[in-house]
Amino acid sequence: MRCEVVAVGTELLLGQIVDTNSAWIGEQLALAGIDCHRHTAVGDNRERMLAAFREAIERSDAVIVTGGLGPTQDDITREVVAEVMGVGMERDPEVVAEIEHRFSGRGRQMPANNLRQADVPVGATVIPEMPGTAPGLVCPIGAKVFYAVPGVPWEMKAMLEGTVLPDLHRRTGSDAVIRSRVLRTWGRSESGLAEVLADEIDRLDVEGGPTLAFLASGMEGLKVRITAKGADEDEVAAVLADEESRVREIVGPIVFGVDDQNMESVVLDELVAQGLTLATAESLTGGMVGTRLTDIPGASRAFRGSIVAYAGDVKRGLLGVPDGPVVSEAAVVAMAEGACRVLGADVSVAVTGVAGPDPQDGEEPGTVWMATSVDGAVEAWKVMFPFDRTLTRQFTVITVLEALRQRLIARRGG
């Protein structure tokens, strides 16, 4: 099964929107064992869309088109797909009723142009998942197929997961089960991790079995994806478990989570397990650590709060930071101690530094002091990040939480 993805929207070509949809779809196709040969972006122009769609369906067995299903005049994906199919359009009364219901349920009058979204190419079927007002379409062309889904990411994902991927799997005619497990790591570069796992990758290439792939994901960690294929779920689960064990043995404690776990959820779970509470004191990150923690449902089980002390006088008055440079070991130690004292927490993390673009306290941009306090003992260290302001802040968040995770593991004797 050869598949292509075509993203529609002039805003993509102008750089106004980053095409995350195609990246996500490509990842899901890979996880499903379906070959994705090409990603294409095309503007809202009938002739160029027609050419792109025709070329894609000639090369591939399936084409996923994302975008261009809205109610405005430049949303012409439906019409162009119909032209490729060589059919006309017909208005689906069930879709009309559903769109009208969506508007009336919100107490709003439906604009007449929304009815365009109920126009369906003859022979196509409407995807049952419809989170918004734009219905997705399954459009057969002989033995091949077009899938048209909205450009709104959460709408697109619901349709891919609910209809498109299962339909593609059915069309492959394979009963094999393909599953992946993602190990999240922190502490090595992508090239460094690949080097450490080189012998294991070579072994898998020779002996066959699961595959390993790497994905650098910023403050979400460096991901190692294990993908396996088998006759049934039990067989695949056993293969994944065996390979996960091998990878963990090789790379050691830098694996902090699996699949949807992130650093903050893992840290919170460890705190709860040990009956500890956490506070944060942030300067450089401006509350990002606290925000990430409170994004996790149930964070209040362990998280006491965050003190965002950006100005020097706030650090001194609220957290007891001594006179002198606020980007220093003495400052970050006082911040860690102050967070526990002021917020009544058992453990804390603290960060201060220079995000840039200008130097501060004689320190260059990218300079970060971090500290963790566990059982009253503070550990502080200095990091020099070679990044811009945004990445420096993001990498600080995951780095200081990873340091706390390691100390918590050591505390319980892990």
CATH of residue 70's domain is 3.40.980.10
pLDDT at 100: 85
The letter for the amino acid at 391 is L
Q: Which two tokens stand for residue 378?
A: 């503070």
Looking at the structure, do residues 63 and 141 belong to the same domain, yes or no?
A: yes
- Give residue 349's pLDDT band: very low, low, confident or very high (50, 70, 90): very high
Looking at the structure, do residues 136 and 22 belong to the same domain, yes or no?
A: yes
Looking at the structure, do residues 283 and 247 belong to the same domain, yes or no?
A: no
DSSP β-bridge partners for residue 371: 350, 380
Half-sphere exposure of 313 (CA within 13 A, CB side): 0
- Give residue 1's pLDDT band: very low, low, confident or very high (50, 70, 90): confident
Looking at the structure, do residues 16 and 144 belong to the same domain, yes or no?
A: yes
When pLDDT is averaged across residues 338-346 and rounded to a whole number, the result is: 97
When pLDDT is averaged across residues 359-370 and rounded to a whole number, the result is: 92
* Mean pLDDT, the chain, integer: 93
Is the model's pLDDT at 414 over the cut of 90? no
When pLDDT is averaged across residues 4-31 and rounded to a whole number, the result is: 92
Diameter over CA atoms, the chain: 77
Q: How many Å apart are CA 320 and CA 147, to the nearest integer?
A: 60
Question: Which residues fall within 8 angstroms of residue 9, CB to CB, at 6 or more apart?
Answer: 17, 41, 43, 44, 67, 68, 151
Q: How many Å apart are CA 324 and CA 308, to the nearest integer?
A: 19
**In the chain, % of residues over pLDDT 90:** 76
Which CATH number does the domain housing residue 232 bear?
3.30.70.2860
pLDDT at 256: 96
- Give residue 73's pLDDT band: very low, low, confident or very high (50, 70, 90): confident
pLDDT at 216: 85
Residue with tokens 């996880």: 31
pLDDT at 305: 97
| Closest residue by Cα to residue 404 from 341, 351, 343, 352 | 351
Buried b / exposed e over 334-364, threshold 16 CB at 10 Å, is bbbbbbbebbebbbbbbbbbbbbeeebeebe
When pLDDT is averaged across residues 330-350 and rounded to a whole number, the result is: 98
Looking at the structure, do residues 228 and 161 belong to the same domain, yes or no?
A: no
Looking at the structure, do residues 7 and 151 belong to the same domain, yes or no?
A: yes
Indicate the angle between helix axes 165-172 and 20-31, nearest 10 degrees: 40
| Closest residue by Cα to residue 152 from 129, 126, 172 | 129
pLDDT at 74: 85
Which DSSP letter does residue 143 get? T
Is the model's pLDDT at 108 over the cut of 80? no
Looking at the structure, do residues 138 and 189 belong to the same domain, yes or no?
A: no
DSSP β-bridge partners for residue 119: 91
Identify the sign of the CA torsion 135, 5, 172, 157. negative
Is the model's pLDDT at 264 over the cut of 90? yes
Question: Of 220, 241, 258, at which residue does a domain stop?
Answer: 258
pLDDT at 101: 83
Q: CB neighbours (10 Å) of residue 52? A: 23
Q: How many Å apart are CA 124 and CA 306, to the nearest integer?
A: 53
Looking at the structure, do residues 115 and 212 belong to the same domain, yes or no?
A: no
pLDDT per position as a tens digit, 140-193: 999 999 999 999 999 999 999 999 999 998 898 766 777 889 999 999 888 899
Looking at the structure, do residues 15 and 144 belong to the same domain, yes or no?
A: yes
When pLDDT is averaged across residues 84-100 and rounded to a whole number, the result is: 91
- Give residue 215's pLDDT band: very low, low, confident or very high (50, 70, 90): confident
Looking at the structure, do residues 276 and 294 belong to the same domain, yes or no?
A: yes
Question: Of 147, 172, 197, at which residue does a domain stop?
Answer: 172
Specify burial of residue 295 (Cβ count, 10 A radius: 0-12, 13-18, 19+): exposed
pLDDT at 175: 67
Is the model's pLDDT at 27 over the cut of 70? yes
Which DSSP letter does residue 202 get? H
- Give residue 330's pLDDT band: very low, low, confident or very high (50, 70, 90): very high
Looking at the structure, do residues 48 and 167 belong to the same domain, yes or no?
A: yes
Looking at the structure, do residues 88 and 188 belong to the same domain, yes or no?
A: no
When pLDDT is averaged across residues 340-345 and rounded to a whole number, the result is: 97
Domain of residue 351 covers 263-411
Ordered DSSP codes for 253-317: GGEEEETT--HHHHHHHHHHHHT--EEEEESTTTTHHHHHHHTSTTGGGTEEEEEE--SHHHHHH
When pLDDT is averaged across residues 288-294 and rounded to a whole number, the result is: 97
Which CATH number does the domain housing residue 375 bear?
3.90.950.20
pLDDT at 179: 84
- Give residue 87's pLDDT band: very low, low, confident or very high (50, 70, 90): very high
| Closest residue by Cα to residue 160 from 329, 36, 73 | 36
Is the model's pLDDT at 298 over the cut of 90? yes
Q: How many Å apart are CA 152 and CA 175, to the nearest integer?
A: 32
pLDDT at 197: 95
Specify burial of residue 227 (Cβ count, 10 A radius: 0-12, 13-18, 19+): buried
pLDDT at 262: 94
What is the number of domains present in the chain? 3
